[in-house]
A and B are shown apart, each in its own frame.
Chain A
Amino acid sequence: MQLDSNAPAERPFWNPYVAGVVLGLVLLGSFLIMGFGLGASGAVTRIAAFAVDLVAPKAVESNAYFSQYFGPGRHVLGDWLVFEVLGVFLGGAVGAYSAGRMKLGVDRGPRVSAGRRLALAVAGGVLMGFAARLARGCTSGQALTGGAALSLGSWIFMMAVFAGGYLVAPLVRKEWR
Protein backbone atom coordinates (compact mmCIF):
# COMPACT_ATOMS: atom_id res chain seq x y z
CA MET A 1 0.00 0.00 0.00
CA GLN A 2 3.03 2.27 0.26
CA LEU A 3 2.85 5.06 -2.24
CA ASP A 4 5.31 4.47 -5.00
CA SER A 5 6.57 7.81 -6.19
CA ASN A 6 8.08 6.16 -9.27
CA ALA A 7 4.85 4.65 -10.59
CA PRO A 8 5.06 4.75 -14.39
CA ALA A 9 1.66 6.28 -15.20
CA GLU A 10 2.18 9.23 -12.92
CA ARG A 11 2.56 12.70 -14.42
CA PRO A 12 5.19 15.06 -13.01
CA PHE A 13 4.33 17.87 -10.63
CA TRP A 14 4.19 21.37 -12.03
CA ASN A 15 7.22 23.59 -11.91
CA PRO A 16 6.89 25.25 -8.47
CA TYR A 17 7.11 28.81 -9.82
CA VAL A 18 4.39 28.10 -12.40
CA ALA A 19 2.24 26.43 -9.73
CA GLY A 20 2.79 29.45 -7.47
CA VAL A 21 1.73 31.96 -10.12
CA VAL A 22 -1.39 29.92 -10.94
CA LEU A 23 -2.16 29.63 -7.21
CA GLY A 24 -1.71 33.40 -6.94
CA LEU A 25 -4.20 33.91 -9.79
CA VAL A 26 -6.74 31.70 -7.98
CA LEU A 27 -6.20 33.75 -4.81
CA LEU A 28 -6.45 37.00 -6.79
CA GLY A 29 -9.66 35.68 -8.38
CA SER A 30 -11.15 35.05 -4.96
CA PHE A 31 -10.28 38.61 -3.88
CA LEU A 32 -11.69 40.13 -7.09
CA ILE A 33 -14.90 38.12 -7.03
CA MET A 34 -15.70 37.73 -3.33
CA GLY A 35 -13.64 40.49 -1.75
CA PHE A 36 -11.80 38.02 0.49
CA GLY A 37 -9.21 35.30 0.03
CA LEU A 38 -8.86 31.58 0.69
CA GLY A 39 -8.98 29.51 3.86
CA ALA A 40 -8.92 25.98 5.23
CA SER A 41 -8.73 25.48 8.99
CA GLY A 42 -11.90 27.44 9.78
CA ALA A 43 -13.99 24.97 7.80
CA VAL A 44 -12.34 22.01 9.53
CA THR A 45 -13.20 23.59 12.90
CA ARG A 46 -16.81 24.07 11.80
CA ILE A 47 -17.05 20.43 10.72
CA ALA A 48 -15.64 19.34 14.11
CA ALA A 49 -18.14 21.57 15.94
CA PHE A 50 -20.92 20.15 13.76
CA ALA A 51 -19.90 16.59 14.69
CA VAL A 52 -19.92 17.38 18.40
CA ASP A 53 -23.25 19.18 17.99
CA LEU A 54 -24.79 15.93 16.72
CA VAL A 55 -24.04 14.08 19.97
CA ALA A 56 -23.80 16.86 22.56
CA PRO A 57 -25.49 20.04 21.24
CA LYS A 58 -25.33 21.85 24.58
CA ALA A 59 -21.58 21.44 24.82
CA VAL A 60 -20.84 23.48 21.68
CA GLU A 61 -23.88 25.76 21.47
CA SER A 62 -23.29 27.19 24.93
CA ASN A 63 -19.50 27.20 24.58
CA ALA A 64 -17.93 30.67 24.71
CA TYR A 65 -15.97 30.09 21.47
CA PHE A 66 -18.19 27.79 19.41
CA SER A 67 -21.44 29.66 20.15
CA GLN A 68 -20.48 32.10 17.34
CA TYR A 69 -21.26 29.29 14.84
CA PHE A 70 -24.76 28.64 16.17
CA GLY A 71 -27.97 30.59 16.59
CA PRO A 72 -31.27 31.34 14.90
CA GLY A 73 -31.01 31.52 11.12
CA ARG A 74 -27.48 30.16 11.19
CA HIS A 75 -26.08 26.73 10.51
CA VAL A 76 -22.61 25.74 11.62
CA LEU A 77 -21.88 24.40 8.12
CA GLY A 78 -23.64 27.27 6.32
CA ASP A 79 -20.50 29.26 5.67
CA TRP A 80 -18.63 30.16 2.48
CA LEU A 81 -15.47 28.58 3.84
CA VAL A 82 -17.11 25.18 4.28
CA PHE A 83 -18.07 25.14 0.59
CA GLU A 84 -14.64 26.37 -0.40
CA VAL A 85 -12.95 23.52 1.50
CA LEU A 86 -15.41 21.03 0.01
CA GLY A 87 -14.13 22.40 -3.30
CA VAL A 88 -10.50 21.94 -2.17
CA PHE A 89 -11.24 18.28 -1.52
CA LEU A 90 -12.95 17.83 -4.91
CA GLY A 91 -10.26 19.78 -6.77
CA GLY A 92 -7.52 17.81 -5.00
CA ALA A 93 -9.21 14.56 -5.99
CA VAL A 94 -9.56 15.66 -9.62
CA GLY A 95 -5.92 16.77 -9.66
CA ALA A 96 -4.63 13.51 -8.18
CA TYR A 97 -6.83 11.29 -10.34
CA SER A 98 -6.03 13.05 -13.59
CA ALA A 99 -2.30 12.90 -12.82
CA GLY A 100 -2.35 9.18 -11.95
CA ARG A 101 -1.65 9.86 -8.29
CA MET A 102 -4.90 8.65 -6.76
CA LYS A 103 -3.64 5.80 -4.57
CA LEU A 104 -4.45 4.66 -1.08
CA GLY A 105 -1.32 4.82 1.04
CA VAL A 106 0.72 6.52 3.72
CA ASP A 107 3.33 9.05 2.59
CA ARG A 108 6.31 8.65 4.92
CA GLY A 109 10.08 8.74 5.16
CA PRO A 110 12.17 5.60 4.69
CA ARG A 111 12.86 5.04 8.40
CA VAL A 112 9.42 5.38 9.95
CA SER A 113 6.64 2.78 10.24
CA ALA A 114 3.19 3.56 8.84
CA GLY A 115 1.68 3.34 12.34
CA ARG A 116 4.15 5.78 13.82
CA ARG A 117 3.76 8.12 10.87
CA LEU A 118 -0.03 8.17 11.29
CA ALA A 119 0.28 8.81 15.04
CA LEU A 120 2.61 11.74 14.33
CA ALA A 121 0.22 13.06 11.66
CA VAL A 122 -2.57 13.14 14.24
CA ALA A 123 -0.32 14.71 16.89
CA GLY A 124 0.91 17.43 14.54
CA GLY A 125 -2.66 17.98 13.43
CA VAL A 126 -3.82 18.55 17.00
CA LEU A 127 -1.10 21.16 17.43
CA MET A 128 -2.11 22.86 14.18
CA GLY A 129 -5.81 22.83 15.00
CA PHE A 130 -5.13 24.58 18.29
CA ALA A 131 -2.64 26.97 16.71
CA ALA A 132 -4.91 27.91 13.81
CA ARG A 133 -7.74 28.90 16.15
CA LEU A 134 -5.34 30.89 18.31
CA ALA A 135 -3.94 32.72 15.25
CA ARG A 136 -7.37 33.06 13.57
CA GLY A 137 -6.27 31.11 10.52
CA CYS A 138 -3.65 28.84 9.04
CA THR A 139 -1.26 28.84 6.10
CA SER A 140 -4.21 29.56 3.77
CA GLY A 141 -6.24 32.19 5.60
CA GLN A 142 -3.34 33.97 7.26
CA ALA A 143 -0.03 33.36 5.45
CA LEU A 144 -1.31 33.20 1.86
CA THR A 145 -4.39 35.43 2.02
CA GLY A 146 -3.28 37.91 4.67
CA GLY A 147 0.22 37.87 3.19
CA ALA A 148 -1.06 38.97 -0.23
CA ALA A 149 -3.29 41.60 1.40
CA LEU A 150 -0.19 42.88 3.25
CA SER A 151 -1.63 42.33 6.74
CA LEU A 152 1.03 42.95 9.37
CA GLY A 153 -0.19 40.14 11.65
CA SER A 154 -0.33 37.68 8.77
CA TRP A 155 3.31 38.36 7.88
CA ILE A 156 4.33 37.88 11.50
CA PHE A 157 2.34 34.63 11.50
CA MET A 158 4.04 33.44 8.30
CA MET A 159 7.55 34.12 9.59
CA ALA A 160 6.63 32.35 12.83
CA VAL A 161 5.38 29.29 10.90
CA PHE A 162 8.73 28.93 9.15
CA ALA A 163 10.60 29.54 12.42
CA GLY A 164 8.52 26.90 14.25
CA GLY A 165 9.04 24.40 11.45
CA TYR A 166 12.81 24.87 11.33
CA LEU A 167 13.08 24.72 15.14
CA VAL A 168 11.27 21.39 15.40
CA ALA A 169 12.55 19.79 12.16
CA PRO A 170 15.82 18.45 13.69
CA LEU A 171 13.79 16.70 16.42
CA VAL A 172 11.67 14.74 13.94
CA ARG A 173 14.37 14.14 11.33
CA LYS A 174 13.89 10.36 11.58
CA GLU A 175 10.30 10.74 10.43
CA TRP A 176 11.37 12.14 7.07
CA ARG A 177 15.03 11.58 6.20
Chain B
Amino acid sequence: MTLPLYPHDAFGTYGGSFLGTLIGMAFGFVLERAGFGRARNLAAQFYLTDTRVLKVMFSAIVTACAGMALLSGVGLLDLSLITVPETFLWPQLVGGLLLGAGFIVSGYCPGTGVVAAASGNVDGAAAIGGVMLGSLAFGFGYGPLERFYLSGAMGVVRIDELLGVPMAAVAAAVVAMAVGAFLGGEKLERIFAGKAGEPAPDSPRASR
Protein backbone atom coordinates (compact mmCIF):
# COMPACT_ATOMS: atom_id res chain seq x y z
CA MET B 1 0.00 0.00 0.00
CA THR B 2 1.26 3.42 -0.92
CA LEU B 3 0.13 6.69 0.57
CA PRO B 4 -1.61 9.06 -0.03
CA LEU B 5 -4.73 6.91 -0.16
CA TYR B 6 -6.86 9.05 -2.48
CA PRO B 7 -4.59 11.38 -4.45
CA HIS B 8 -6.32 13.86 -6.75
CA ASP B 9 -9.59 13.09 -5.00
CA ALA B 10 -9.81 9.71 -6.79
CA PHE B 11 -12.14 8.74 -3.96
CA GLY B 12 -14.95 10.64 -5.70
CA THR B 13 -16.69 13.89 -4.92
CA TYR B 14 -19.08 12.58 -2.29
CA GLY B 15 -16.53 10.49 -0.48
CA GLY B 16 -14.02 13.33 -0.68
CA SER B 17 -16.54 15.81 0.70
CA PHE B 18 -17.37 13.48 3.57
CA LEU B 19 -13.68 12.97 4.39
CA GLY B 20 -13.16 16.72 4.07
CA THR B 21 -15.85 17.39 6.62
CA LEU B 22 -14.36 14.84 9.03
CA ILE B 23 -10.81 16.15 8.65
CA GLY B 24 -12.12 19.70 9.07
CA MET B 25 -13.95 18.70 12.25
CA ALA B 26 -10.75 17.32 13.74
CA PHE B 27 -8.94 20.53 12.68
CA GLY B 28 -11.59 22.79 14.25
CA PHE B 29 -11.77 20.73 17.44
CA VAL B 30 -8.02 20.88 18.00
CA LEU B 31 -7.86 24.62 17.24
CA GLU B 32 -10.58 25.18 19.85
CA ARG B 33 -8.81 23.04 22.46
CA ALA B 34 -5.56 24.87 21.72
CA GLY B 35 -7.31 28.08 22.83
CA PHE B 36 -7.43 29.54 19.34
CA GLY B 37 -11.12 30.40 19.48
CA ARG B 38 -10.23 33.40 21.62
CA ALA B 39 -8.67 36.50 20.15
CA ARG B 40 -6.77 37.42 23.31
CA ASN B 41 -4.91 34.09 23.30
CA LEU B 42 -3.84 34.74 19.71
CA ALA B 43 -3.02 38.44 20.12
CA ALA B 44 -0.82 37.62 23.14
CA GLN B 45 1.71 36.11 20.71
CA PHE B 46 2.47 39.59 19.38
CA TYR B 47 2.99 41.07 22.86
CA LEU B 48 5.00 37.99 23.90
CA THR B 49 2.97 37.40 27.05
CA ASP B 50 1.90 33.99 25.72
CA THR B 51 3.64 32.41 22.74
CA ARG B 52 0.96 29.72 22.34
CA VAL B 53 0.59 30.49 18.62
CA LEU B 54 4.26 29.80 17.95
CA LYS B 55 4.26 26.64 20.08
CA VAL B 56 1.15 25.12 18.49
CA MET B 57 2.05 26.08 14.92
CA PHE B 58 5.64 24.90 15.02
CA SER B 59 4.81 21.67 16.88
CA ALA B 60 2.22 20.95 14.19
CA ILE B 61 4.55 21.73 11.29
CA VAL B 62 7.35 19.66 12.80
CA THR B 63 5.03 16.70 13.45
CA ALA B 64 3.52 16.66 9.95
CA CYS B 65 6.84 17.35 8.23
CA ALA B 66 8.79 14.72 10.17
CA GLY B 67 5.92 12.27 9.68
CA MET B 68 6.04 12.71 5.92
CA ALA B 69 9.83 12.50 5.81
CA LEU B 70 9.73 9.30 7.87
CA LEU B 71 6.97 7.62 5.87
CA SER B 72 8.57 8.47 2.55
CA GLY B 73 11.92 7.31 3.92
CA VAL B 74 10.52 3.81 4.57
CA GLY B 75 8.74 3.82 1.22
CA LEU B 76 5.16 4.08 2.47
CA LEU B 77 4.52 7.58 1.12
CA ASP B 78 4.97 8.77 -2.44
CA LEU B 79 6.06 12.39 -1.96
CA SER B 80 5.51 13.16 -5.65
CA LEU B 81 1.75 12.75 -5.06
CA ILE B 82 1.71 15.35 -2.26
CA THR B 83 0.40 18.74 -3.36
CA VAL B 84 2.90 21.46 -2.45
CA PRO B 85 1.82 25.12 -2.74
CA GLU B 86 3.61 26.86 -5.60
CA THR B 87 5.99 29.69 -4.85
CA PHE B 88 5.14 33.20 -6.03
CA LEU B 89 7.78 35.15 -4.15
CA TRP B 90 6.51 38.74 -4.10
CA PRO B 91 2.76 38.27 -3.59
CA GLN B 92 3.52 35.75 -0.84
CA LEU B 93 5.88 38.14 0.91
CA VAL B 94 3.52 41.13 0.70
CA GLY B 95 0.44 38.97 1.33
CA GLY B 96 2.11 37.59 4.45
CA LEU B 97 2.90 41.07 5.79
CA LEU B 98 -0.67 42.24 5.17
CA LEU B 99 -2.15 39.08 6.65
CA GLY B 100 -0.02 39.47 9.76
CA ALA B 101 -1.20 43.06 10.13
CA GLY B 102 -4.82 41.97 9.69
CA PHE B 103 -4.26 39.16 12.20
CA ILE B 104 -3.26 41.46 15.07
CA VAL B 105 -5.97 44.02 14.21
CA SER B 106 -8.78 41.45 13.95
CA GLY B 107 -7.41 39.08 16.59
CA TYR B 108 -7.85 36.02 14.37
CA CYS B 109 -6.61 34.44 11.20
CA PRO B 110 -9.30 33.11 8.84
CA GLY B 111 -9.37 29.55 10.26
CA THR B 112 -9.37 30.58 13.91
CA GLY B 113 -12.07 33.17 13.15
CA VAL B 114 -14.33 30.31 12.04
CA VAL B 115 -13.62 28.45 15.29
CA ALA B 116 -14.29 31.61 17.33
CA ALA B 117 -17.60 32.17 15.54
CA ALA B 118 -18.51 28.53 16.17
CA SER B 119 -17.95 28.98 19.91
CA GLY B 120 -20.14 32.08 20.13
CA ASN B 121 -17.56 34.82 19.78
CA VAL B 122 -19.23 37.55 17.73
CA ASP B 123 -15.84 39.14 17.02
CA GLY B 124 -14.86 35.92 15.21
CA ALA B 125 -17.93 36.17 13.00
CA ALA B 126 -17.10 39.85 12.37
CA ALA B 127 -13.56 38.90 11.32
CA ILE B 128 -14.92 36.28 8.89
CA GLY B 129 -17.34 38.87 7.48
CA GLY B 130 -14.31 41.08 6.92
CA VAL B 131 -12.41 38.25 5.20
CA MET B 132 -15.35 37.86 2.81
CA LEU B 133 -15.33 41.58 2.01
CA GLY B 134 -11.55 41.61 1.59
CA SER B 135 -11.53 38.66 -0.79
CA LEU B 136 -14.31 40.27 -2.83
CA ALA B 137 -12.24 43.46 -2.96
CA PHE B 138 -9.30 41.43 -4.28
CA GLY B 139 -11.40 39.71 -6.94
CA PHE B 140 -13.09 42.87 -8.16
CA GLY B 141 -9.79 44.73 -8.17
CA TYR B 142 -7.96 41.83 -9.84
CA GLY B 143 -7.28 43.56 -13.18
CA PRO B 144 -4.51 45.91 -12.08
CA LEU B 145 -3.32 43.41 -9.46
CA GLU B 146 -2.74 40.55 -11.87
CA ARG B 147 0.84 41.47 -12.78
CA PHE B 148 1.91 41.55 -9.15
CA TYR B 149 -0.16 38.45 -8.32
CA LEU B 150 1.86 36.47 -10.88
CA SER B 151 5.25 37.98 -10.06
CA GLY B 152 8.14 35.97 -8.67
CA ALA B 153 6.65 32.74 -10.06
CA MET B 154 9.01 29.84 -9.33
CA GLY B 155 6.65 26.87 -9.58
CA VAL B 156 6.77 24.21 -6.88
CA VAL B 157 9.94 24.77 -4.85
CA ARG B 158 10.58 22.45 -1.93
CA ILE B 159 13.35 23.64 0.36
CA ASP B 160 14.93 20.17 0.47
CA GLU B 161 15.03 19.96 -3.34
CA LEU B 162 16.33 23.52 -3.59
CA LEU B 163 19.22 22.60 -1.26
CA GLY B 164 19.66 19.18 -2.86
CA VAL B 165 19.41 17.32 0.46
CA PRO B 166 16.98 14.63 1.68
CA MET B 167 13.67 15.82 3.13
CA ALA B 168 14.66 14.21 6.45
CA ALA B 169 17.67 16.54 6.70
CA VAL B 170 15.52 19.66 6.36
CA ALA B 171 12.92 18.13 8.70
CA ALA B 172 15.66 17.66 11.29
CA ALA B 173 16.80 21.26 10.84
CA VAL B 174 13.20 22.44 11.28
CA VAL B 175 12.92 20.40 14.49
CA ALA B 176 16.11 22.01 15.81
CA MET B 177 14.83 25.46 14.85
CA ALA B 178 11.49 24.78 16.54
CA VAL B 179 13.14 23.66 19.77
CA GLY B 180 15.22 26.84 19.75
CA ALA B 181 12.12 28.94 19.13
CA PHE B 182 10.27 27.16 21.96
CA LEU B 183 13.06 27.80 24.44
CA GLY B 184 13.21 31.45 23.35
CA GLY B 185 9.42 31.75 23.52
CA GLU B 186 9.31 30.35 27.06
CA LYS B 187 11.98 32.81 28.15
CA LEU B 188 10.27 35.81 26.52
CA GLU B 189 6.93 34.82 28.06
CA ARG B 190 8.40 34.90 31.54
CA ILE B 191 9.87 38.35 30.91
CA PHE B 192 6.87 39.98 29.21
CA ALA B 193 4.08 38.29 31.20
CA GLY B 194 6.01 39.21 34.36
CA LYS B 195 6.28 42.84 33.25
CA ALA B 196 2.56 42.97 32.58
CA GLY B 197 1.88 41.55 36.05
CA GLU B 198 0.36 38.41 34.57
CA PRO B 199 1.20 34.86 35.54
CA ALA B 200 3.33 33.03 32.97
CA PRO B 201 0.92 31.10 30.73
CA ASP B 202 1.69 27.61 31.93
CA SER B 203 1.75 28.37 35.62
CA PRO B 204 -1.22 26.95 37.60
CA ARG B 205 -2.72 30.38 38.25
CA ALA B 206 -3.08 30.95 34.52
CA SER B 207 -5.05 27.79 33.82
CA ARG B 208 -8.58 28.69 32.99
Contact = CB atoms under 8 A, between A and B. Distances in A.
A132 to B, nearest CB: 6
A21 B59 contact: yes
B191 interface: no
Contacts of A125: 102, 106, 108, 113, 126-134
A127 interface: yes
Contacts of B112: 139
B154 A153 contact: yes
Interface in A105-156: 105-109, 117-118, 120-156
B176 interface: no
B208 A163 contact: no
Interface string A44-68: 1101110110000001100111100
A102 to B, nearest CB: 5
A149 B41 CA distance: 27
Residue picked from B59, B71, B95, B196, most chain A C-beta under 10 Å: B95
A17 B135 CA distance: 32
Interface string B56-76: 111111111101100100000
Interface of A: 3, 5-6, 10, 12-17, 19-38, 40-41, 44-45, 47-49, 51-52, 59-60, 63-66, 78, 80-81, 83-97, 99, 101-109, 117-118, 120-169, 172-173, 175-177
Interface of B: 3-9, 13, 16-35, 37-41, 43-47, 52, 55-65, 67-68, 71, 77, 81-89, 91-124, 126-140, 142-143, 145-146, 148-149, 154, 156-160, 162, 167, 170-171, 174, 182, 196, 202, 207-208
